A and B are shown apart, each in its own frame.
Chain A
Amino acid sequence: AQSVAQPEDQVNVAEGNPLTVKCTYSVSGNPYLFWYVQYPNRGLQFLLKYITGDNLVKGSYGFEAEFNKSQTSFHLKKPSALVSDSALYFCAVRDYRQTGANNLFFGTGTRLTVIP
Chain B
Amino acid sequence: KAGVTQTPRYLIKTRGQQVTLSCSPISGHRSVSWYQQTPGQGLQFLFEYFSETQRNKGNFPGRFSGRQFSNSRSEMNVSTLELGDSALYLCASSWDGPTGELFFGEGSRLTVL
Is there a chain A Cβ closer than 8 Å to B66's Cβ? no
Contact check, A51 vs B55: say whether CB atoms are below 8 A apart.
no
Q: How far is the CB of A37 from chain B (nearest CB, A)?
A: 11
- Size category, A interface: 20 to 34
Is there a chain A Cβ closer than 8 Å to B99's Cβ? yes
Chain B residues near A34 (CB-CB < 8 A):
101-102
Task: Please report which residues of chain B, range 59-109, place their CB below 8 angstroms from some CB of chain A when the two chains form the complex.
Answer: 90, 92, 94, 96-107, 109
Q: Please name the residue on chain A nearest to B44 by beta carbon.
A: A106
Chain A residues near B35 (CB-CB < 8 A):
106
Q: How far is it, in angstroms, between the C-alpha of A32 and the C-alpha of B50 when the chains are bound?
A: 19
Contact check, A102 vs B105: say whether CB atoms are below 8 A apart.
no
Contact check, A105 vs B31: say whether CB atoms are below 8 A apart.
no
Contact check, A51 vs B99: say whether CB atoms are below 8 A apart.
yes
Task: Please report which residues of chain A, range 16-64, place their CB below 8 angstroms from some CB of chain B when the two chains form the complex.
Answer: 30, 32, 34, 36, 41-46, 49, 51
Contact check, B48 vs A32: say whether CB atoms are below 8 A apart.
no
Contact check, B55 vs A100: say whether CB atoms are below 8 A apart.
yes
Chain A residues near B43 (CB-CB < 8 A):
90, 106, 109
Residue in contact with B42 in the complex, picked from A41, A46, A108, CB distance below 8 Å? A108
Provide a sorted-by-A list of 5 A–B residue pairs whose CB atoms are within 8 angstroms. A32-B99, A42-B106, A43-B90, A101-B50, A103-B45
Not counting A90-B43, A101-B50, a sample of 19 additional A-B residue pairs whose C-beta atoms are within 8 angstroms of each other reads A34-B101, A36-B104, A42-B106, A43-B105, A43-B106, A44-B92, A49-B99, A51-B98, A96-B97, A96-B98, A99-B55, A100-B56, A102-B48, A102-B50, A102-B96, A103-B45, A104-B33, A106-B43, A108-B42
